[in-house]
Chains A and B, each alone.
Chain A
Amino acid sequence: SYELTQPLSVSVALGQTAIITCGGNNIGSKSVHWYQQKPGQAPVLVIYRDTNRPSGIPERFSGSKSGNTATLTVNRAQAGDEAHYYCQVWDSSVALVVFGGGTKLTVL
């Protein structure tokens, strides 16, 4: 089955740039989506189709993809950005939604 690999945790200093990666075989051929989940809350879509931001998501959040890795970048990290972040794809070959294991972002 298809797997997405994320680091368990990422730390970033307040106001600096956080980079969260998501690795998967041939991920370049798939659309990658990202979700933010704060404690006790439902996930919120922050990036869809690799690079697109839903309305209401700050421009500080951006997505990119290169090779077998997708990346979520959080510029000028704020305390309110502390959360778990999950990447996700739709594996059309087997018709499955696949989530990464999640990354806890800590803002120091």
Chain B
Amino acid sequence: QVTLRESGPALVKPTQTLTLTCTFSGFSLTTYGMRVTWVRQPPGKALEWLARIDWNDDIFYNTSLRTRLTISKDTSKNQVVLTMTNMDPVDTATYYCARLYDRTGYLDYWGQGTLVTVSS
């Protein structure tokens, strides 16, 4: 059974760095073809893809946010960590992690999401 769970602060101040952790089970990021991705959704708005990390350490970022994002993995803990620097109120959103399956890139399992509010 595949599960993912996001954790991190619910509130961050402007200019601070956000660190989110995705803890997953039911698969391993050392297995060929496994990938984990982060997606966010501002309140009332559409989904926005952020970053992806693959079993082979390949990493991809949303072009418009790449200077602020870092994704990494700890395979011994079954965790993927996303950091986003210089947080702004427009970054207020629910942040999801999901398993990205297959070379065609569909997200077959999602965490429940964590709401991050950026406010002073």
- Closest chain-B Cβ to A1's Cβ sits at a distance in Å of 7
A99 touches B48 (CB 8 A): yes
0/1 interface trace, chain A 41-85, chain B, CB 8 Å (1 if under): 111110011000010000000000000000000000000000000
Stretch from B19-27, B69-77, B85-93, B98-106 at the A interface: B98-106
B47 touches A33 (CB 8 A): no
B49 touches A99 (CB 8 A): yes
Number of interface residues of A (CB under 8 A): 26
Alpha-carbon gap, A9 to B103, bound state (A): 30
Alpha-carbon gap, A43 to B113, bound state (A): 10
Given A33-B106, A43-B107, A96-B63: A102 in contact with B37 (beta carbons within 8 A)? no
B110 touches A86 (CB 8 A): no
Measured CB to CB, the residues of B under 8 A from A are 37, 39, 46-49, 52, 60, 62-63, 96, 100, 102-108, 110-113
Add 17 more A-B contacts to A33-B107, A96-B60, A102-B47 (CB < 8 A).
A42-B113, A43-B96, A43-B110, A44-B110, A45-B107, A48-B102, A48-B106, A48-B108, A88-B47, A90-B103, A97-B49, A98-B49, A99-B39, A99-B46, A99-B48, A99-B49, A102-B46
